[in-house]
Amino acid sequence: MGKSESKKLESKHPGIPTSLLTRRHLMETPKETSGKKRLRQTNLEDCFGVGIKRHRSSQGEVEASLVEDVEQGSMSSRPLGESSELRRRREQLAAAAERRRASQSPYSTPPHDAPSSPDSNQGSEEVTDKSTEKTSRTHGSKGTVSKPSTSTAGNSNTGSEVVANSGRNFESVFAYLEEDSEACGRASASSTRSYPSNRTRSKVGEATPGTSVERDNLGGHSSQGTADVSQKTRPDANALVEEDEAAVAVGDVSPTQEYDASLPLFSDSEPHSSLDDEVQVNKDATRIEWRGVDPSALNRAPACRQTLPRLQPSHSHTVLFRPHIRSGAPPRPFPDAYRDTWDAHHVRMPCSPENLYPVDDKNGQKKVQSRWELIETTLLKPIQNSWDLEEAILTYNARYCSKWNFAGLHHFFTEEVDRREARHFFDQLLPKMVELALMLPKLCTQAIPLLKRQESHTITLTQLQIASLLANAFFCTYPRRNAQQKKSEYSRFPDINFNRLFEGSAKKSSTNMRKAEKMRCIINYFRRVALKAPTGTVSFTRRAVTAMPEWEKSTNTLTKFHGNVYGTIEDQGEGMLQLDFANMYIGGGVLGHGLVQEEIRFMICPELIVSRLFTEVLEGNECLFVKGAERFSDYTGYASTFRWNGDYQDTIPRDAWGRKETEILAIDALVFRCFEDQFKPQLLRRELNKAFCGFYGDGTLAANLPAVATGNWGCGAFGGDARLKGLLQMMVAAECHRDMAYFTFGDQRLCYELHKMNEFLVAQGVSVGDLWLVLQRYRTEVLQRKAKRNFTNLYTFIYQVYNDVESSTDEKDGEEGAEQTGGLSRGVDDSDDGSLSPDYKVDTP
């Protein structure tokens, strides 16, 4: 539209904004479009003609009404007195609301009016200037980032990363196995699809976009936070744009994909939350990513660690190599020659001379042969496909020919990877894995002691020794580890041979999919080891604690709390004591169909799997520490949505013993079928004691203890309540003088409630012993009541208890009120104490 036309419109409609007049004029006047754009609109109208026409008609009506309103407003405006009266009434109401807020203590009443989403009260907590709204960030009680991402669980994927990984192909996994690294580099450079090595560590304090996480309460993963420690390398955005434009030019993109800038045609086709509505209304709206103390305020290793003593073996520490760490080279095994031990206190090694196996001779007579010789002879034969691999494994496991199922293995190499990729595996990688497995007597020159029940002991191995042990597990060579009977020798140990990983299901495609993604993690691990021998070490420590706290007598108060909504334990918990929500049989279903928090951690850090070789089932006062496990794979999703997402370069530094500064704590929770059972005194005490086994610093100064990175331990499939488990872990952290970082895996409300509860209890000076007594009182006064119509949730009950105490002391003199408070704290479990009203406001989420 020219200037002359604009002036004509302004003269006809004085006082109306030119932008509205211009838009109205353009709608009424047809405009010629280029052939390419006309073709695009024609295609869209062919597909969605009715919807587009209806939308355009409604849009025209809305804009026409806006112009009419402006016209009427310019001719007959509202009287000045009426506008000033409305403004005065609004100011009075705002002032009254402010006086009501100022007249009350922050904790005078339970927060029953907590927002349905923690973000909904953000306006009252944070004032953001519009000109800097996109980049402002507050600290202290909460952290914010702008424009929330919509990626799924696991590690965050931006739009460009999705494009980069959408053609995920396993040929790149095998492409790095060439003997000549230069030739391999040239081959990968000339390949049309490069290997997705898309995970590297960044600085702890670096902020990255968060992701929404699709996880259940059992844990897990997943998942960028404010203090991100790993960030994806992204493809060149300009190159991606050029590729997209080229695809549109040649007509490879569908009309709906071309119409990205259009209004949504099916806006109600997918359910969305109130938070999504808020983001759609204001695209610059921020979201809460963490609450509590700033993550930089928490202790992390190695900064908080004391100097390590010299590494040397002892009666409580077995070291399987010479403790002289040489940078850049794997430590030498100790002793130099293989020394066998074949008894009930050590792992029965496949290469032991005592490992015998019955075979048929040429005359059909039974004879006993060294099983290791049979393994060597079998694995050194050509293995061309998955059926050859099955036949080889069953050669020295003949009794399981009719019991073991290799359908998952065959499905992977026939359905999940193409012929070229499968050929690369069997021609290039598998021979290196065979070589690694057969090096066992040269790498592990002494038998590994078993970590048995009620015995505290540490085993430290090299990463190369672990790789050889896992290669033998892949080929199912460990003797006496396949029997499942209760009276078998290793019935109280997890299985270690990979035969269950190779199983498949003809009816459940989800099982085959899970096994396929696990296979990708395992193969990527062996690819990395074959490419370059690892040079570090890993320690496994079983701890049994006999002296437990008297929880009802503890006077410790709660420590620092950081709640993280979108982060993960393995990423944002760098340098902390990272929890593994473990099974009593360590590793749980890692070799089966399980794919929740523990199994995912074992898949991305496969060195953890070797703990199943020597760790007996954990009892109520025991836990397992793993220090130094390296991460090899990236992932997205959780459970059925889990996907291997490429290689991961773990650049976490090593300590003086050659271990990564990553410490994992495995503790198993109880399984609950009934909500009320969790509050039984003996079961509460068991969960507290179990967590205490791992959180306990064993004499280390509090300043040298890293914070605990945890989450919904024992929830989800185990039936635990996340709010109770969060409170119990706060109690144990306080008893052990550790700070806590709690990851809610996308649950903003849970993060909000945990933070508010921690803040409330700290402000009230509530001790661990007080909390124990309140939990007992909640069981007797709420859960055991016959009439549960007015059921009160745990946190509402706690708020009510201490607010009643506060109101009762306000009516007394100082000294008398103090005595009243102390009496109630000590007697919260007395049956004759009826100070609470039976009609509580229900605040169950």
pLDDT-based confidence at residue 707 (cuts at 50, 70, 90):
very high
Share of the chain above pLDDT 90, in %: 56
User: Long-range contacts for 263-268 (Cβ within 8 Å, ≥24 apart)?
Assistant: 263/55, 265/48, 265/51, 265/52, 265/55
Q: What is the pLDDT of residue 794?
A: 95
Q: What are the extents of the domains in the chain?
A: 3-30+37-73, 317-740
pLDDT-based confidence at residue 102 (cuts at 50, 70, 90):
low
CA nearest to 210, candidates 657, 564, 647: 564
For residue 712, what are the β-bridge partners? none
DSSP states of 518-534: HHHHHHHHHHHHHHS--
pLDDT-based confidence at residue 476 (cuts at 50, 70, 90):
very high
Task: State how far the Cα of 469 lies from the Cα of 588, in Å rounded to an integer.
Answer: 19
DSSP states of 29-76: S-----HHHHHHHHHHHHHHHHHHHHHHHHHHHHHHHHHHHHHHHHHS
Is 712 annotated in a binding site? The answer is no
Is 369 annotated in a binding site? The answer is no
Contact predicate 688/551, CB 8 Å: yes
For residue 314, what are the β-bridge partners? 317
Residue-wise pLDDT for 316-357, tens only, equals: 999 999 987 677 789 999 999 999 999 999 999 999 999 999
For the chain, the helix, strand and coil percentages under 3-state DSSP, each to the nearest 5:
45, 15, 45
> Which tops the pLDDT comparison, 444 or 185?
444
* Amino acid letter, 648: Y
Could you tell me the two tokens for 151?
A: 């990626």
Residue of 598, 607, 630, 781 marked catalytic:
598
Q: Is 204 helix (H, G, I), strand (E, B) or coil?
A: strand
Question: Could you confirm whether 244 is annotated as catalytic?
Answer: no
Residue of 161, 580, 622, 630 marked catalytic:
580
Question: Could you confirm whether 598 is annotated as catalytic?
Answer: yes
Residue-wise pLDDT for 513-526, tens only, equals: 999 999 999 999 99
Is 802 annotated in a binding site? The answer is no
> Which tops the pLDDT comparison, 204 or 325?
325
pLDDT-based confidence at residue 178 (cuts at 50, 70, 90):
very low
Could you tell me the two tokens for 269?
A: 């086709």
Name the residue with tokens 């009892």: 619
Question: Average pLDDT, whole number, for the chain?
Answer: 75
pLDDT at 222 over 80: no
Contact predicate 483/490, CB 8 Å: yes
Residue of 599, 630, 634, 687 marked catalytic:
599
Peptide bond just before 606 cis, omega within 30 deg: no
CA nearest to 300, candidates 227, 364, 208: 227
CA nearest to 634, candidates 603, 663, 665: 603
Name every residue whose Cβ is closer than 8 Å to that of residue 253 and which is 6 or more positions away in sequence: 244, 247
Question: Could you confirm whether 113 is annotated as catalytic?
Answer: no
Task: State how far the Cα of 491 lies from the Cα of 485, in Å rounded to an integer.
Answer: 7
Name every residue whose Cβ is closer than 8 Å to that of residue 189 and which is 6 or more positions away in sequence: none
Q: What is the pLDDT of residue 374?
A: 97
Reported as half-sphere exposure (CB side, CA atoms, 13 A), residue 203 has a value of 4
